[in-house]
Amino acid sequence: MDYTVSLHTHLEGSVRPETFSELMGNDIKADLTVNKNCTSLKEFLDKIACGYPLTQRRQNLKRVAYEIVESASQNNCLYLEVRFGPTLHTSGDMQLEDTVEAVLEGFNEGERNFGVVTRAIISTLRHEDPAVSIRLAKLASKYKDLGVVGFDIAGDEANFKALPHKRSFEIAKEAGLGITAHAGEAGEPGNVKEAILELNASRIGHGIRVIEDKEVVEIAKERGIVFEVCPTSNIHTGAVASIKEHPIKQMVNMGLKVTVNDDDPQTSQITLQGEYEIANDLLDKATTRKNLLINSLEASFVSDTIKKVLLKKIHEM
């Protein structure tokens, strides 16, 4: 079976342009998806932001969440962790709690109908006030046994630091949530080190620039850090010049644990299966899809009971 798993998918980058048109009455596909002029993470994030007017309504947000699970099932996905930034979806009558509940309702309904085990990660953003991050960490903790499994920091890495948000990561960790952080994507390898040592991350979003610093590679290896690699996204954000130059193989050769993920499939107009195929073309034969899936599941933030069941499926494939 050509199973897939994704640990790194953003709800905000998974808004189907057709759903936007249907619910909002205007066609903004060109604004919502990348084109060849997109060369930076900042420009890429601006594309994603075009979908916010849609998701700032509870029913719409639930539908977007539900459709993510549907799309995952079309990619033979066994397990999915979707991250989102609650502050991006609050508006007049939508409070932070409402955004989480709408997303979890969509995931639960999707999981029931499509059989893809789906869990949520709450993301704070680098440009936010650290006090907001603390609120989000507490929010994530509140929903810990209801579908939220992790805490993350995303956003504009080139212009904002993660360290001011350290306290929020401590709160999330104390609550028993998994910790992941975007680092070493648009920023230097030192950000990966900071995410591991200061934020206590066991997984790094992207982290591709880690290869530039041997010390950070060693730290990551020692601690068994898992890298959430998203090949095509790195081209669209300008982090890597071309797919041929993507460092995933180099990361594996350095002894790092990698996984394959789709990041923002609708913004990038890609599929999860497609990303696994790209990774397969880039990697040596010795690294099989099975290896990648095992890496993903072992590093996932789901309960041990479910992890065991899913790993059994992979071992039997």
Residues near Zn ion, by CB under 5 A: 205, 263
**Alpha-carbon gap, residue 237 to 5, rounded angstroms:** 22
Sheet of 148-154, strand order: 4-10, 77-84, 117-125, 148-154, 178-183, 203-206, 226-229, 257-260
We find the least distance from the C-beta atom of residue 124 to Zn ion, in angstroms, to be 13
We find the least distance from the C-beta atom of residue 193 to Zn ion, in angstroms, to be 19
Nearer to Zn ion, 110 or 155 (CB): 155
Nearer to Zn ion, 187 or 205 (CB): 205
The amino acid sitting at 255 is: G
Query: Which tokens in the block code for residue 157?
Result: 């890495």
* 185 is known as an active-site residue: yes
Which residues, in sequence order, are bridge partners of residue 84? 122
Catalytic residue among 185, 194, 228, 275: 185
Nearer to Zn ion, 57 or 118 (CB): 118
We find the least distance from the C-beta atom of residue 299 to Zn ion, in angstroms, to be 15
We find the least distance from the C-beta atom of residue 10 to Zn ion, in angstroms, to be 5
Nearer to Zn ion, 101 or 156 (CB): 156
Asked if 145 and 115 touch (Cβ cutoff 8 Å), the reply is no
Place of tokens 């930034």: 85
DSSP 8-state class, residue 11? G
Between the alpha carbon of residue 247 and those of residues 138, 183, 242, 252, 265, the distances in Å are 36, 15, 10, 9, 20
Residues 6+ apart with CB under 8 A from 176: 144
Nearer to Zn ion, 41 or 177 (CB): 41
Asked if 182 and 113 touch (Cβ cutoff 8 Å), the reply is no
We find the least distance from the C-beta atom of residue 268 to Zn ion, in angstroms, to be 11
Task: Give the residue numbers annotated as catalytic, written as ranges.
Answer: 185
